[in-house]
Amino acid sequence: MANLLKIDQAIDNLFRYREIGVDPAFSRFIPMVYDPIHYAWRENFEPAFNQLFNGLMIKGDEEVGRVFLAVFPTDDVLTRFISEGKSGDLLFMHHPLVMECGDPKGEWGRGFVPISEHFIKQMKEKKLSVFTLHVPLDYSRTISTSDAVAEAIGAKVISEFFIEEKGACGVLCEISPISTEALIEKSKEIFSIPYADVEGPRHSDITKIAIAAGCGDKVYAMKEAEELGAQAYLTGEVHCHIDNDYGRKKYNEMKAYTKQTSMSLIGVSHAASEYLVHATQLKKWFTEQFEIPVTLIPQEKWWV
Ligand SMILES: [Zn+2]
Ligand SMILES: [Zn+2]
């Protein structure tokens, strides 16, 4: 057993989420998805979470017997957590909302999707806890979404790019010479994906690679990486496939950029690119810190 407040303290000591403050993304997206459906999210989520949009979102029993790690609160993830979790167990995720970016070979996505009310009710009834950590898990250079990718592909982080006000989402790395094709094959294996979303020229000797897990589908971030000498850019999405005007606009902007880029652009899905840190660095950290069992909940499908 581990104490929930001690777990929260240890997470804050490492990721400084209170110091980083209001999450720039989910402070906008949580009201954006729950307000139109008139869901009383402010009453159902913890008051401190409603201020920062990171931290303990749902607080169950204070003694934690097991930690579950997932990236998005998809229906399959929550169903498993609710059925396997016992009073006090904790689900730690990078996102408090599912992000459907679409499947490059399938259906386009709906963007941010709320958690169904019945799941929230069941988690509360079972006294389960939910903790989410968004930008602090992208910004840390000890354990992060992008650093975990660098570690898995055997690249060495040399600097940051894609810098926001409180931290950087991207890392620039050196890697032993590798071809675009080999990098794609390696990525398919690491991220357990059937295919990658690939654009740009193919190279035979990549030694500098930019990594931005998650939403790296930003032309300005790609241009920055290119100027820093990256020959390849590995991210969650190359193309945004969100089925609305915003998604189509982004898709067209990216299509134009892919015709002029000098980099190989490799997308491995938003979800899989950000799940990796849970399966590797976070699983190790939670196990060592609290000496309680840790269960991974991978999604059934990564290109959502
Ligand atoms: Zn992220
Ligand atoms: Zn993300």
Contact between 78 and 113 (Cβ < 8 Å): no
Whether 227 is covered by a domain: the verdict is: yes
**What pLDDT does residue 197 have?**
97
**CATH number of 94's domain:** 3.40.1390.30
Whether 48 is covered by a domain: the verdict is: yes
Amino acid at 160: E
The rounded distance, in Å, linking the Cα atoms of 76 and 14 is 29
Give the count of domains, the chain: 2
| pTM across the whole model | 0.97
**What pLDDT does residue 74 have?**
98
Mean pLDDT to the nearest integer, 137-152? 98
| 143 and 221 housed in the same domain | yes
**What pLDDT does residue 178 have?**
98
| 122 and 210 housed in the same domain | no
Mean pLDDT to the nearest integer, 203-229? 97
Mean pLDDT to the nearest integer, 217-226? 97
Cα–ligand 1 centroid distance for 187 (angstroms): 18
Cα–ligand 2 centroid distance for 95 (angstroms): 7
pLDDT tens for 22-64 read 999 999 999 999 999 999 999 999 999 999 999 999 999 999 9
Residue count of the chain: 304
Contact between 279 and 299 (Cβ < 8 Å): no
Contact between 243 and 109 (Cβ < 8 Å): yes
Cα–ligand 1 centroid distance for 217 (angstroms): 12
pLDDT tens for 57-104 read 999 999 999 999 999 999 999 999 999 999 999 999 999 999 999 999
Domain hosting 163: range is 138-270
pLDDT tens for 173-194 read 999 999 999 999 999 999 999 9
- By C-alpha distance, which of 46, 40, 90 is closest to 65? 90
| 93 and 189 housed in the same domain | no
Whether 302 is covered by a domain: the verdict is: no
**What pLDDT does residue 38 have?**
97
Cα–ligand 2 centroid distance for 111 (angstroms): 11
Cα–ligand 1 centroid distance for 279 (angstroms): 15
pLDDT tens for 115-126 read 999 999 999 999
pLDDT, the chain, mean: 97
Mean pLDDT to the nearest integer, 235-244? 95
**What pLDDT does residue 132 have?**
98
- Closest ligand (CA of 146): 1
